[in-house]
Amino acid sequence: MNILEQLTPKRILIGLVTISSLALFVIFSKQFAASLAPFITAIILAAILEPIISTAQKKLRLPRGIAVISTLICFVLVIGYILFAFTTTSIAQLNDLLRLLPQYRVNITRLINDLVLRLEVLNEDLPEVVSQKITQSLIDFLATLEQALTSMITYLFNAFTGLPVFTIITLIVVVSTYFISKDKDLLIESFLKLVPESWKERIDHAIERIGIDLMGFIKGRLIMFFIATVISALGLLLLNIRYWLLLAIIIAVLDNIPIVGPGIIFGPWALASFLLGDTNRAIWIIVLYIVIFAVRQLTEPKIMGDFIGIHPLAMLLAFYAGVVFFGSIGIFIGPLLVIVIKAAIHAGVHLPRNE
């Protein structure tokens, strides 16, 4: 039987629908991701809270609905308090930084002039054109650095002012989490009705595996974030940095983003300190970066391997592909897809063959 004989109208239609669906998904991937993000977050949150809800049902003999809403209220109160404390502290530090920015600008201008004088001494033996080019490049670099710092501060400050949208999204996530947790068994049963009978056991096993790996991934990332935050905070406090908390959290976030990393902060910072003659601070900044990098390299394979058993290279590919297809939110969607694929392979889920 040749290929043309196998191309029945039904198979052609299925192929066209599949290709069209994939094309639409790729074209509108960012819109899909933005629309589904609150509900994906709700599913993840429901999976995280499930052990607590199950314990409340068994130990306290509470009905499922009451156990879910009680757990959600406690979770929202705890997270709300943490976010409130962090937000108020961060806003205070950002306001302080914005208030002192004109003074910093004067200091930066003075430092630029000092660096230019030093370069003129160093470049006495160089041709005048080369010397001017080096000096102008340094001035442009520092001006760009100042502009980037101002833009970043303004962006962070504006992020805190977008509370109405954040509140609406939070309500959607909380309400969705309640219904997903409360009707978990019903939703799973309804989903299993849509799949062939021969798949049900494997799909059920895959769902269980996804829940376990997802919890492991979140726990692993939180542990890595906590470690990076503590090390950064202690190092910045020892350096007597004014905005240590805000910087420590930013560094920890960057440390959990592959390819980027905290080097984009430590590198220019150490270089600027060295050029300005503060060699001790430059050395300590480099030491702090090396410590954070070394701890991450030593602990990440063990922590993430123990929790989900996925090679760091696979996760790196997932992060990159997620960002390419879905934008910034792909940082979360990419690893989630890898976890789903791993669970499907582990459960032996495959497409049925046409007889």
Question: From CA 33, how far away is CA 42, in angstroms rounded?
Answer: 14
pLDDT at 27 over 90: no
Torsion, CA 232, CA 235, CA 238, CA 244, rounded to 10: -20
Give the per-residue pLDDT at 351: 46
Question: From CA 224, how far away is CA 219, in angstroms rounded?
Answer: 9
CB 258 within 8 A of CB 316: yes
Among 213, 177, 210, smallest CA distance to 39 is for 177
Output the pTM of the full model: 0.60
Average pLDDT in the 321-349 region? 74
DSSP letters spanning 100-129: HHHHHHHHHHHHHHHHHHHHHHHTTTS-HH
Residue positions counted in the chain:
355
Task: Please state, in angstroms and as integers, the Cα–Cα distance from residue 200 to each residue in 15, 344, 352, following that order.
Answer: 25, 12, 13
Question: Which alpha helices (H) appear in the chain, and where do they start and end?
Answer: 3-6, 9-27, 29-59, 64-122, 128-161, 163-182, 184-192, 200-238, 244-255, 263-275, 279-307, 312-326, 330-347
pLDDT digits (tens, 9 = 90+) for 139-181: 676 667 667 666 766 666 666 666 677 778 888 989 999 999 8
CB 33 within 8 A of CB 330: yes
Question: From CA 285, how far away is CA 273, in angstroms rounded?
Answer: 9
CB 260 within 8 A of CB 320: no
Question: From CA 251, how far away is CA 233, in angstroms rounded?
Answer: 9
Would you say the C-alpha torsion 28, 30, 35, 39 has a positive or negative sign?
positive
Give the per-residue pLDDT at 354: 47
- Dig out the tokens for 328 from the structure: 């910034």
Among 211, 147, 163, smallest CA distance to 184 is for 211
Give the per-residue pLDDT at 6: 53
Instruction: Grade residue 21 by pLDDT with cuts at 50, 70 and 90.
Output: low
Question: From CA 234, how far away is CA 230, in angstroms rounded?
Answer: 6
Share of residues in the chain with pLDDT > 70 (%): 68
Instruction: Grade residue 339 by pLDDT with cuts at 50, 70 and 90.
Output: confident
Task: Please state, in angstroms and as integers, the Cα–Cα distance from residue 174 to each residue in 72, 79, 193, 194, following that order.
Answer: 8, 12, 27, 27
Question: From CA 72, how far away is CA 46, in angstroms rounded?
Answer: 9
Question: From CA 28, how far away is CA 22, in angstroms rounded?
Answer: 10
Long-range contacts of 159-168 (CB under 8 A, 24+ apart): 160/87, 160/90, 160/91, 160/94
pLDDT digits (tens, 9 = 90+) for 58-77: 888 889 889 999 999 999 99
